[in-house]
């Protein structure tokens, strides 16, 4: 790499790594590894291996991930544009594997753009349960929604919200939550030299404060007994072990459980050996940190979980990620518009609808089409936005007040 590493950064890394520092420093002279992850919503791993036009080597911590050979250009191949695989940095495939997703789970990807980890979650759900993918930055949600659509995700919703507002709307609701936290990006210095230029000595502290607020919101949105996986692509202890240890100190109902990955992942530092670190001088990938936080299953505060489950889970069936209900002309409280980006502070996510009979006629036509042409009804909640009809995995009422990009 051409960029000069900041002196404050190198001094800290020497202190962290000791005798391993020279090995670590040598990695900055190497070409970063590249990889793809097979989209098993569209093709099996074996089928892609048989068809791949370039050489592939398995990534040990991700059964659907492969290193690509040097010089390969997977982004230029039609298979990429057909959504058969996602181009992803190899270390970035590890956090979702630690979530241990089960069919039917309700999963929140809280800092999701551009969507690599969300597409990985969706592949594990295989069309069951529910995936809500969120990002706070409006411009980044465009790429997020595009990638979910390209990869054939039908049980997903894309939000552009703060973690706090999501937690307020879905208290105690999710089985699994991924926090791929915004961070100082030190683990990506070799791959993205702009990260080096943007780094300052105070950058890790700034992100650590942000990360701790995100963790608090995630805890409120998690169901009792659920799992949070927290990950960053940085080396700074205050953004990694520091954020987790502070969270655990204030939340005795959570425990850090061993991340596993012996032989690939190094243990965490500073009194958190259950966490995992991926060091570029030890694995074929960039720098990453991961921690698995498990809730002990104790009851949540009154009104924080049970009410949400009663109202919302009735509308989310385990297969297909949505509720099955008849589509009837002229009725049904859930026939509301497809979400837009909200209407200002506290605004509804609903877009403009046809008035009166226009909406009823559209839904009646859809019901007739399902009955006469399909012979079956797609699971979900029909919502009307402009001249387009969509089927959402949640009723519009569950998303009122949230900035919805895609459902």
Please give the share of the chain, as a percent, with pLDDT higher than 70.
85
Angle between helices 203-221 and 241-250 (to 10 degrees): 40
Is a pLDDT exceeding 90 seen at residue 199?
yes
Number of alpha carbons in the 13 Å side-chain half-sphere of residue 32:
17
Is a pLDDT exceeding 70 seen at residue 315?
no
Position with higher pLDDT, 365 vs 112: 112
Domain range summary for the chain, segments of one domain joined by +: 91-295, 325-406
Residues 214-239 as b or e (16 or more Cβ within 10 Å = b): bbebbbbbbbeebbbbbbbbbbbbbb
Question: pLDDT tens, 325-361?
Answer: 333 333 333 333 333 333 333 333 444 444 446 778 8
Coil vs helix vs strand at 147: helix
* pLDDT the model gives residue 386: 77
User: Cα 206 to the chain's mean position, in Å?
Assistant: 22
Q: Which tokens hold the place of 321?
A: 């990620």
Report the alpha-carbon distance of residue 293 to residue 261 in Å, rounded: 16
* pLDDT the model gives residue 355: 45
Is a pLDDT exceeding 60 seen at residue 149?
yes
* pLDDT the model gives residue 147: 97
Please give the share of the chain, as a percent, with pLDDT higher than 90.
73
Is a pLDDT exceeding 50 seen at residue 219?
yes
Report the alpha-carbon distance of residue 16 to residue 11 in Å, rounded: 9
Coil vs helix vs strand at 341: coil
Report the alpha-carbon distance of residue 382 to residue 395 in Å, rounded: 8
* Lowest pLDDT segment from 46-50, 185-189, 305-309, 367-371: 305-309
Report the alpha-carbon distance of residue 289 to residue 91 in Å, rounded: 9
* Lowest pLDDT segment from 130-139, 166-175, 278-287, 321-330: 321-330
Q: Which of 75, 98, 103 is closest to 88 using CA atoms?
A: 75
Among left, alpha and beta (phi > 0; psi -120 to 50; other), residue 100 is left
Average predicted confidence (pLDDT) for the chain: 87
Report the alpha-carbon distance of residue 235 to residue 241 in Å, rounded: 10
Give the catalytic positions in this structure.
Answer: 233
* pLDDT the model gives residue 96: 99
User: CA gyration radius for the chain?
Assistant: 22
Coil vs helix vs strand at 157: strand
For the residues 265-278, what does the mean pLDDT come to? 96
Is a pLDDT exceeding 80 seen at residue 264?
yes
Is a pLDDT exceeding 50 seen at residue 203?
yes
* pLDDT the model gives residue 348: 39
Whether this prediction's pTM lies above 0.95 is answered by no
Class of domain 91-295: alpha beta
């Amino acid at each position: 790499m051409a960029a000069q590493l900041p002196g404050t950064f190198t001094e800290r890394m020497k202190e962290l790594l000791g005798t391993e520092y020279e090995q670590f420093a040598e990695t900055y002279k190497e070409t970063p590894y590249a990889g793809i992850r097979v989209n098993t919503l569209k093709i099996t791993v074996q089928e892609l291996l048989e068809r791949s036009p370039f050489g592939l080597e398995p990534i040990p911590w991700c059964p659907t991930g492969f290193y690509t050979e040097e010089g390969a250009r997977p982004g230029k191949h039609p298979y990429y544009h057909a959504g058969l695989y996602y181009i992803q940095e190899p270390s970035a495939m590890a956090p979702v594997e630690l979530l241990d997703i089960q069919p039917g789970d309700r999963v929140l990807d809280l800092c999701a753009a551009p969507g690599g980890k969300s597409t990985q979650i969706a592949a594990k759900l295989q069309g069951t349960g529910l995936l809500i993918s969120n990002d706070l930055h409006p411009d980044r949600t465009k790429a997020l929604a595009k990638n979910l659509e390209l990869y054939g995700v039908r049980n997903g919703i894309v939000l552009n919200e703060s973690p706090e507002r999501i937690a307020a709307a879905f208290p105690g609701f999710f089985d699994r939550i991924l926090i791929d936290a915004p961070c100082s990006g030190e683990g990506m210095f070799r791959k993205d030299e702009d990260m080096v230029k943007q780094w300052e000595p105070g950058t890790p502290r700034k992100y650590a404060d942000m990360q701790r607020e995100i963790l608090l919101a995630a805890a409120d949105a998690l169901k009792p007994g659920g799992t949070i996986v927290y990950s960053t692509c940085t080396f700074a202890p205050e953004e990694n072990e520091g954020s987790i240890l502070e969270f655990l100190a204030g939340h005795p109902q959570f425990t850090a459980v061993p991340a596993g990955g012996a032989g690939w992942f190094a243990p965490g530092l500073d009194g958190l050996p259950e966490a995992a670190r991926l060091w570029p001088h030890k694995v074929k990938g960039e720098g990453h940190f991961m921690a698995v936080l498990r809730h002990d299953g104790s009851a949540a505060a009154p009104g924080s979980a049970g009410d949400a489950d009663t109202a919302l889970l009735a509308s989310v069936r385990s297969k297909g990620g949505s509720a099955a209900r008849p589509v009837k002309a002229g009725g049904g409280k859930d026939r509301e518009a497809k979400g837009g980006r909200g209407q200002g502070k506290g605004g509804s996510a609903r877009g403009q609808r046809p008035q009166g009979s226009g909406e009823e006629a559209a839904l009646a036509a859809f019901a007739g089409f399902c009955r006469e042409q399909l012979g079956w009804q797609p699971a979900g909640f029909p919502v009307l936005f402009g001249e387009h009809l969509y089927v959402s995995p949640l009723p519009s009422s569950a998303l009122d007040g949230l900035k919805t990009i895609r459902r």
